[in-house]
Structure 1
Amino acid sequence: MTSTELAREALPQRIKRKIKQGMGPWGVFLEGFLRHPVMVGSVVPSSRFVINRMLSRVDWSRCKLFVEYGPGVGTFCRPVLDRLPRDGMMLVIDTNPLFIDYLRRTVNDSRFVAVLGSAADVEEIVRAHGHEKADYVLSGLPFSTLPDGVAPAIAAATHRVIRKGGAFLVYQFRPKARSYMARHFKHIDQDFEAVNVPPCFLWWAWKEEDEA
């Protein structure tokens, strides 16, 4: 292949890179959705209304470890870090290397750790980063489209890893997700946010003091 042919072959890749750079995080988010649609809840990142309402019930004074599943391009990351105590840690877990690479390059905060892995392995990941329990776990993973057995495994592991008094924070576009949490959490608060694309259900599943 001649140098001219190589240049022609590389041109579409250069155009694609320019377009993605011009779109910023939206370009990364869209590419991640197109590559792994069943693992990304929506083609549009969550609205500030969802973010503020989801985080409004967190007791930040008692939060040493905040975990997020499926952070995407970090829609929740900066709002969490803005609220997190200086000695706290935010640990995000995603199976998409595109998102993890982007977060590692763009989130410049010593309290932030991005891990390429499965939320079902949250207990091992938390221990590997010096903690036994998480205070809060946030998830926007699309439970209804995950492969068979994955959603129940994530819900069970999350209940085990959360400390007593902590909570599993979940936002979803379908109400079915609540059934996975209800198998493990006795106390679940629910709300609904219409100002989002699409509108979504919000849940706070609390691990009560008398739970194992």
Structure 2
Amino acid sequence: MEWLSFLKQYIQGPRWIGAIAPSSKYLAAKMVKDIAFDRASCIVEYGPGTGVFTEMLLANMQPGTVLILIENNARFCQLLRKKYGHLPNVHIIHDSAVHVDQHIQQYGLDKVDYIVSGLPFASLPAEVSLDILSKSRQYLKQDGKFITFQYTLLKRGLLKQFFENVSMTRVYRNLPPAYVFSCSQ
């Protein structure tokens, strides 16, 4: 059911969805591998879609950790609210990740520990990507990480413009196969 919803949203807006199917559990596992859940007080997720990464984050988070989900797609946001809206410390926001600064401040935070991104930087307008990455770097704690995945290596250089350390892992068990980038300062 969620798979069909995802495909429909992709057909309606491929530039903003970026994939024909939700991410696999294998990709989700690689996306959260570098997170020190025992020390994370706040995690932000951009573009959670149907919640594949969100599930993995929630399964590993400590009880006091704040999770901010920023989803630009109205249908996905509605789905996320149904699934997670009742959970404490989970904030579901229907907006663009471009406004991450406003939402971090809205919850009285200065910095966040991790940002997990499902955004398709390869298909987003350049100015949107630059704005999101700039704010992500600005609001990450010094030892924080920005973790994203892409289907190509095209945006690796862009990530390196904002983060000194960019490590990469290939995940073949996903449709299509993907690269996970773990970025830090």
Is 1:42 aligned to 2:5, yes or no?
no
- TM-score, normalization by structure 2: 0.95
- Distance in 1 (CA, whole Å) between partners of 2:41 and 2:70 is 17
Greater CA radius of gyration, 1 or 2? 1
Q: Which runs of 5+ in 2 are unaligned?
A: none
Name which structure has the greater RCO, CA cutoff 8 Å, separation 6+: 2
- Distance in 1 (CA, whole Å) between partners of 2:148 and 2:80 is 21
State the AA in 1 paired with 2:18.
G
Match of 2:155 among 163, 170, 177: 177
Work out the number of aligned pairs and report it. Answer: 184
Match of 2:73 among 68, 79, 96: 96
- Distance in 1 (CA, whole Å) between partners of 2:165 and 2:36 is 17
- Name the counterpart of 1:6: none
- Given that 1:159 and 1:184 are in contact with CA atoms closer than 8 Å, whether structure 2 keeps it comes out as yes
- Name the counterpart of 2:104: 126
- Name the counterpart of 1:73: 50
1:39-86 deviations in Å (ceiling 9; x for gaps): 112111111111111211111111111111111011111110111110
- TM-score, normalization by structure 1: 0.83
Shift of 1:111: 2.2
Q: Which runs of 5+ in 1 are unaligned?
A: 1-22, 208-212
Runs of 4 or more consecutive aligned structure 1 residues displaced over 3 Å after TM superposition: none
* Structure with greater helix percent: 1
% identical aligned pairs = 27
- Distance in 1 (CA, whole Å) between partners of 2:26 and 2:78 is 27
- Name the counterpart of 1:192: 170
- Name the counterpart of 1:83: 60
Match of 2:9 among 32, 49, 52: 32
- Distance in 2 (CA, whole Å) between partners of 1:155 and 1:148 is 11
State the AA in 1 paired with 2:181.
W
- Given that 1:41 and 1:172 are in contact with CA atoms closer than 8 Å, whether structure 2 keeps it comes out as no
